[in-house]
Chain A
């Protein structure tokens, strides 16, 4: 069974077939719900195959030549099936399946043609993500890496008639491109140094110490830049909160569970290569921890429920990256998987809330638990998992990450991550208390979401619990050597955050405004996103617009100037020459006679 790649290929092919079908057959796409059903059927087959592949523990690699040349192909395409990609396949297909089912109800008000377009993009996205996961080499990974970026752009801008959505889509695309430039340069440099894109060949060379190429640290740093953009690490994290302009299911799938974790997946996948450059690894850990803390503080002051979740995603991605940088890549990957489950759950539950009340602002919600208890319960389950309360999935993976970072003797990142854990519990329970409890605000009659939306929610909540219990029974995976004081510490941090949120937003024992004024500089900075957006806007205005103005000036005054001078000269000359046309016939006869005279003179003198 080890060489069988048929099933993994089936997993990959189904969404692509669905995409082709929807893209080419216009009438089917315009039916909307029909297109959705086709896409869901394809992804369901994909999911079943992925589960089978995962439970059977397939391990296989198969490549086909892509760019031929003398002495073996330069690049290949293929599939690499191992436990890492198997787990990722299941996560991607599972969340995609649930999100697509959920979207059927969530986007039921859309025009059928728009809904068809949505499912076409969704199919393309799932295909691209699966291709990225199965990639056996850097080049194929990069191709699919860009494809998921494109799908992200298309889906953020799904409501493209809204200027904010169109701008957010362009912003996400360009900022991730900034990292991707580093990624492709790193890939090409690595190829020119080693002559291969294949992971397995590179890993073998790494093991044989044959990878001591000069500048490997720079190469790996450039490759890491791709992950910085895609996985929203500081300082390129600014696109992810804006990406919330897309439909909520898209945020759940692409900007929480799957695409943004591609960077973490890439670093985990190529961990043997990163292990050769400890300096870059340390940098990854520090940047990850810093990102986690920074995003957590911004989440604490945010009033938009989706943006809180977006900052929380950035923060958790920082966790995963910190784990990868600390040499505890399995812990980071475990956190990726559990986070994918409960963050998708949180986003979908937030979507149900937004669907019911028609606003994103948590301070205009309130008391919703009475109106929609089921959504409330699953949201609280997700919150507990994210805050790291046992026996939910998030507790074990977060503890593994913390343990891994501690074991790597990275005290600075460890402290930042511990503080982040406290803040995570705080801001999540802040959302819970403000949204679901507290005073009910007037405005409409919030109602429970239809079962097409509730079903995926309950399934994800159950999975969060089941995975957590399984992890508890199996014992921690990445943090086996973690010190004994770690679990009490992380539970204590979560409880402290919970208590703080309860005191501030439920009991009113502590006035939030007073806390904000006590921490005024921090509050001010966090509300302004630490000026990073302003900085980028300034850089954009200063450099790109400045350069454009220079080019515009040259075009207007130099290139056009030459043409203008030529035309002016022609006009001026015509203007002065027209005076010799008197219009009187006799003047012309004078001219003719004078010319004939000249001809005579010429004939007499110069013959």
Chain B
């Protein structure tokens, strides 16, 4: 039996990898991938806690998260394509219209 803490450590690792990706990737698609990793780390936590508590609340919640994530990725990719059409680039460093 794998203990709860192992799941949590795994989730923390995946979250950190995702955060690292979000912070360091220069490509907008890469950043979106990082975000996906972070969300999946959360999903792992929810499922692990559901199993640990012996009820289904966490699992149901995870289903919601997955569907929202799909929608989010669809919108995010659409934005990336729209930006590419206008700016001919998806480099995150060059998308600084809001600079003060």
Interface residues, chain A, CB within 8 Å of chain B?
578-586, 589-590, 593
Contacts and interface: CB of A to CB of B under 8 A. Distances in A.
A586 B100 contact: no
Interface string B15-38: 000010011000000010000000
A583 B98 contact: yes
B1 interface: no
A434 to B, nearest CB: 83
Contacts of B22: 586, 589
26 contacts: A578-B100, A579-B100, A581-B98, A581-B99, A581-B100, A582-B100, A583-B96, A583-B97, A583-B98, A583-B99, A583-B100, A584-B92, A584-B93, A584-B95, A584-B96, A584-B99, A585-B92, A585-B95, A586-B23, A586-B31, A586-B92, A589-B22, A589-B23, A590-B23, A593-B19, A593-B23
Contacts of B96: 582-584
Contacts of B19: 593
A583 B93 CA distance: 9
Contacts of A578: 100
Contacts of A590: 23
Nearest to A579: B100
Interface in B48-64: none
A596 to B, nearest CB: 10
Contacts, number: 33
A582 B96 CA distance: 7
A581 B97 CA distance: 11
B19, B31, B99: most-surrounded residue (chain A CB, <10 A): B99
Contacts of A583: 95-100
A450 to B, nearest CB: 82
A22 B40 CA distance: 92
Contacts of B23: 586, 589-590, 593
A91 to B, nearest CB: 83
A580 B98 CA distance: 11
Interface string B80-100: 000000000000110111111
Contacts of B92: 584-586
Contacts of A586: 22-23, 31, 92-93
Report the 7 A-B pairs with minimum CB-CB distance, sorted nearest first.
A581-B100, A583-B99, A583-B96, A578-B100, A583-B98, A584-B96, A582-B99
Nearest to B19: A593
Nearest to B24: A586
A578 B100 CA distance: 5
Nearest to B98: A583
Given A582-B100, A585-B31, 13 more contacts: A579-B100, A582-B99, A583-B95, A583-B97, A583-B98, A583-B99, A583-B100, A584-B99, A585-B95, A586-B22, A586-B23, A586-B31, A586-B92
Contacts of A581: 98-100
A98 B19 CA distance: 104
A583 B98 CA distance: 4
Contacts of A580: 100
Interface in B62-76: none
